[in-house]
Structure 1
Amino acid sequence: MSVVTRFAPSPTGFLHVGNLRTALFNFLIARKAGGEFILRLDDTDPERSTQEFADGIQEDLEWLGLTWDRIEKQSNRFDRYAAAADELREKGRFYEAWETPTELDLKRKKQLNMHLPPVYDRAALALSDDEKADLRAERGQGVWRFKLDQERIEWHDGILGDLSIDAASVSDPVLIRADGQVLYTIASVVDDTDMGVTHVVRGSDHVTNTATQIQIMEALGKTAPAFAHHSLLTGPQGEALSKRLGTLALRDLREAGVEPMALLSHMARIGSSQPIELAASVDDLAEGFDLNHFGSAPTKFDVEDLWPLTASVLHETPFEDVADEVAALGVPADIAPAFWDVARANIGKRSETADWWALFRDGATPLVDDEDKAFIAEAFAMLPDLPYDDTTWGNWTSAVKEATGRKGKNLFMPLRKAVTGREKGPEMAGVMRLMQVKPSL
């Protein structure tokens, strides 16, 4: 059986790290099995869904290299949802209800006071045809609820293990709103079964939803896919991420300089028993991916953990992959490969490459301690004229050592700080070779 997975975001906002976890797991399962990965836009809400967000979702996935085999839009499938609704009506599993939110809230409070589960009491099932007509005339169209078989719903979850939910403790779910909007619960069932989806991985907040969807699938004579529910992400201290998701949008991480493979490598391993390691490619991630390594405990996410991985990505990036970027900085072609070799080992994100070229091109503002001012002035007076090469630094520091008597750290550190304006950085032989201007005070 061919493996088919899907990622079904709503184009009502930009993707964040929580969304990415779901997308990545489904993508890796499909790629590992040589199967199909579907991007399915849940755009059944016409008021909140926008083309801007739909485009943004695709841009974010493309940036990460999570390419889909086909794209679907739920807004193109309303006829299929209507047909499924008709089938449920014919089977006596779909009924209309007219309670207002206030009435439902009062019912829930009464049930809680009686120490009963706060579930819908199915009062609408007892309405006569005349009572339904009166309510329809008074309140308009009602909502359509799926009538659950009040029995235990059991399945084996790919992460959580064997699960069992008593359907009697769950309200009959609303599948179509009074305004006619088709809700996720029914749309997802129809799409998953129509599209042959074999595996669904999503957040643990969907467990109850999964139980009701399994019954809906059975009512429609369909076979449910294999479900797995990953843990939800928290902040580094275990706090809820919900209030911070605006700062954890994928486009914001991209803008900040996070590298795609750094983010993917991290997200593919946090919450699992496997160590977080930088993967060379998405294919490598897929090869080592296994849901069995993941647990149910909430998973802490700290954006700061992405920066060491991002630096590692850049340290291993060959010149060929950044040649156009380096050229765009104005680095001469004859020294561009050497420049990148020096820069990549000393940057934490791509944007810092420009800072290093500015130093080589324009020179740095010397960093000179008061006690070193006379020494640096004497040393700079001994600097040869451009161009410099691999021997310049060694020859210069030897001459300065002989003239001043300084040696070791007292010799090299003040000279580094004066030439680069920094206390740390590349080997100075490489720095001098790339200098386009003669250092001066």
Structure 2
Amino acid sequence: MTTTRFAPSPTGYIHVGNLRTALMNYLIAAKAGGSFILRIDDTDPERSKEEYVDAIKQDLDWLGLHWDRVERQSLRLDRYAEAAERLRAMGRLYEAFETPTELDLKRKKQLNMGRPPVYDRAALVLSDEERARLRAERGAGVWRFLLDQARIEWHDGILGDISIDAASVSDPVLIRTDGQVLYTFASVVDDIEMGVTDIVRGADHVTNTATQIQIIESLGGTAPRFAHHSLLTGPQGEPLSKRLGTLSLRDLRARGVEPMALLSLMARLGSSDPVELRSEMAELIEGFDIERFGAAPTKFDEADLFPLTARCLAARPYEAVAGIIAALGVPDDLAERFWEVTRENITTLDDLQAWWTLFRDGAEPAIDDEDRVFVAQAMALLPEGPLDEDSWGKWTAAVREATGRKGKALFMPLRKALTGQAQGPEMAQVLPLLQVIRVRG
């Protein structure tokens, strides 16, 4: 069975970059009728916060990315300890004691000599006495995985055939000096034991994938199918990393972005297919193909989300927004008509408040000097009493007859006088909703 996973760290709110990874893994599992695991990477007790675990679940639920089960890495520490013992017994896990300063000096020396800055494996030649002395002086060391220095090859679902020389990569640290198991190792153990078959993640993980393939194989597992998506940039190609904090899913949600607008964009961004607004998840699942995505950095502009959101809302039936409209204070007898008039003139649902304020309280008139006399004449002809959808046509016909104006010169000054705006819904629909008209002849 196809099994994928999304493994966020609960150290902050998830953002559009995280979403790209989550969505691709979700769609692969859903299209195959498989299983999608939400795996919380909370092995760092100092940085992991329960509030972020809750936030991750809320954000995914808001988007409709429903997981089949939740796993917590903090509850699986015994499994990592057991796997570490197996690697030690095989001679594939060794303790190293260099300080960060010493490692930095080694890297600089290698670079000066024109060599790749790869860990020199000095810890492997330490005697038992030297290890005991260093442990006594410095405390516990880190535990590194001993790579087999051969080429590591796989077919990547996006990047194609990948070949990495393990000799050009440092033996990865799997366990820190304080005993914390790092992602590189915990993820491998989980992927093996949870039967993960497909993994999509960012292109910045390609080297990690190479080392993890060896760790998987050393533990007797079978490497999943990997695909590495391109990294997001800003709309001008600038790095997006510094702005990800303002592109959290809850921030976009607070700004009124609709879930299907966000999902429709992210399901196609960076692929050879055009972005198309979808109305339901089943359409995204059916149209998803990981092989349609490219390796080039992908431009993301949050401004693209708002036209899509507007289109989402324009297609929404009144029943779906009735509660929101009622909360604005729109009378029941006007509520459905209010939605029909405004639905194609809003970008987010937050815009409804401004429209209702306009209809309820009247707008501050916007009258150009050259139109003041005309507007005064026209307003004197506006009938008293309840207005309906025929009122605009009858009124403007009377104004045309009285003033001789027609076309834009007739309609635009009246729109601006009544709504304070040069654009908006059809005035025939607006006029019956205006509870107050501030300008009169």
Structure-2-length-normalised TM-score: 0.98
Separation (CA, whole Å) in 1 of partners of 2:357 and 2:392 = 20
Aligned-pair CA distance for 1:177: 0.2
Mapped pair 1:281 → 2:284: no
Residue of structure 2 equivalent to 1:354? 353
Aligned-pair CA distance for 1:5: 0.7
- The CA deviation string for residues 351-370 of structure 1, in whole angstroms up to 9 with x for no partner, is 11111111111111111111
Residue of structure 1 equivalent to 2:180? 181
Separation (CA, whole Å) in 2 of partners of 1:320 and 1:6 = 35
Residue of structure 1 equivalent to 2:302? 303
Separation (CA, whole Å) in 1 of partners of 2:161 and 2:388 = 67
Residue of structure 1 equivalent to 2:394? 395
Mapped pair 1:106 → 2:102: no
Residue of structure 1 equivalent to 2:28? 29
Equivalent residue runs for 1:118-197 within 5 Å? 118-197=117-196
Separation (CA, whole Å) in 1 of partners of 2:367 and 2:422 = 11
- The CA deviation string for residues 141-194 of structure 1, in whole angstroms up to 9 with x for no partner, is 110001111101111111011111111111110000001111000000011111
Match for 1:302: what amino acid? Answer: D
Separation (CA, whole Å) in 1 of partners of 2:61 and 2:297 = 28
Separation (CA, whole Å) in 2 of partners of 1:59 and 1:433 = 41
Q: Which structure 2 residue ranges, 5 or more long, are not aligned?
A: none
Q: Tell me how many residue pairs correspond in the alignment.
A: 440
- The CA deviation string for residues 44-76 of structure 1, in whole angstroms up to 9 with x for no partner, is 111111112111111211221111111111111
Residues 364 and 438, structure 2, Cα contact 8 Å, conserved in 1: no
Residues 418 and 437, structure 2, Cα contact 8 Å, conserved in 1: no
Aligned-pair CA distance for 1:344: 0.7
Residue of structure 2 equivalent to 1:375? 374
Match for 2:55: what amino acid? Answer: G
Separation (CA, whole Å) in 2 of partners of 1:283 and 1:386 = 50
Separation (CA, whole Å) in 1 of partners of 2:126 and 2:111 = 24
Q: CA-atom RMSD, angstroms? A: 1.1
Residues 388 and 432, structure 1, Cα contact 8 Å, conserved in 2: yes
Separation (CA, whole Å) in 2 of partners of 1:29 and 1:333 = 45
Match for 2:149: what amino acid? Answer: Q
Residues 119 and 171, structure 1, Cα contact 8 Å, conserved in 2: yes
Separation (CA, whole Å) in 1 of partners of 2:415 and 2:238 = 44
Separation (CA, whole Å) in 1 of partners of 2:437 and 2:364 = 12
Residue of structure 2 equivalent to 1:254? 253
- The CA deviation string for residues 362-419 of structure 1, in whole angstroms up to 9 with x for no partner, is 1111111111112212221222223211111111111111122221111111111111
More moved, 94-103 vs 58-67: 58-67
Match for 1:285: what amino acid? Answer: L
Residue of structure 2 equivalent to 1:336? 335
Residue of structure 2 equivalent to 1:212? 211
Separation (CA, whole Å) in 1 of partners of 2:354 and 2:29 = 41
SS at match of 1:243: helix
Residue of structure 2 equivalent to 1:52? 51
SS at match of 1:244: helix
Separation (CA, whole Å) in 2 of partners of 1:3 and 1:319 = 39
- The CA deviation string for residues 175-221 of structure 1, in whole angstroms up to 9 with x for no partner, is 00001111000000011111111100000000000010010010000
Residues 152 and 166, structure 1, Cα contact 8 Å, conserved in 2: yes
Residues 363 and 437, structure 2, Cα contact 8 Å, conserved in 1: no
Separation (CA, whole Å) in 2 of partners of 1:367 and 1:107 = 71
Residues 157 and 228, structure 2, Cα contact 8 Å, conserved in 1: yes
Separation (CA, whole Å) in 2 of partners of 1:72 and 1:387 = 62
Separation (CA, whole Å) in 1 of partners of 2:109 and 2:407 = 82
Aligned-pair CA distance for 1:439: 4.5
Separation (CA, whole Å) in 2 of partners of 1:327 and 1:196 = 49
Residue of structure 2 equivalent to 1:5? 4
Aligned-pair CA distance for 1:232: 0.4
Residues 4 and 199, structure 2, Cα contact 8 Å, conserved in 1: yes
More moved, 374-383 vs 79-88: 374-383
Match for 1:187: what amino acid? Answer: A
Residues 189 and 217, structure 1, Cα contact 8 Å, conserved in 2: yes
Mapped pair 1:67 → 2:66: yes
- The CA deviation string for residues 216-247 of structure 1, in whole angstroms up to 9 with x for no partner, is 01000011111000000111111111111122
Match for 2:92: what amino acid? Answer: R
Residue of structure 1 equivalent to 2:318? 319
SS at match of 2:275: coil
Mapped pair 1:408 → 2:400: no
Separation (CA, whole Å) in 1 of partners of 2:250 and 2:354 = 23
More moved, 4-13 vs 109-118: 109-118
Aligned-pair CA distance for 1:334: 2.1
Separation (CA, whole Å) in 1 of partners of 2:383 and 2:89 = 92
Separation (CA, whole Å) in 2 of partners of 1:190 and 1:84 = 7
SS at match of 1:245: helix
Separation (CA, whole Å) in 1 of partners of 2:391 and 2:368 = 24
Aligned-pair CA distance for 1:437: 2.6
Q: 1:166 to 1:359 in 2, by over 3 A?
A: same
SS at match of 2:270: coil
Match for 2:418: what amino acid? Answer: V
Separation (CA, whole Å) in 2 of partners of 1:57 and 1:103 = 38
Residues 95 and 144, structure 1, Cα contact 8 Å, conserved in 2: yes
Residues 31 and 283, structure 1, Cα contact 8 Å, conserved in 2: no
Separation (CA, whole Å) in 2 of partners of 1:339 and 1:423 = 19
More moved, 53-62 vs 211-220: 53-62
Residues 386 and 437, structure 1, Cα contact 8 Å, conserved in 2: no
Residues 153 and 166, structure 1, Cα contact 8 Å, conserved in 2: yes
Residues 386 and 438, structure 1, Cα contact 8 Å, conserved in 2: no
Separation (CA, whole Å) in 1 of partners of 2:334 and 2:282 = 33
Structure-1-length-normalised TM-score: 0.98
SS at match of 1:104: helix
SS at match of 1:144: strand
- The CA deviation string for residues 267-300 of structure 1, in whole angstroms up to 9 with x for no partner, is 1111110001101112111110001111110101
Separation (CA, whole Å) in 2 of partners of 1:238 and 1:74 = 35
Separation (CA, whole Å) in 2 of partners of 1:3 and 1:281 = 22
Q: Which structure 1 residue ranges, 5 or more long, are not aligned?
A: none
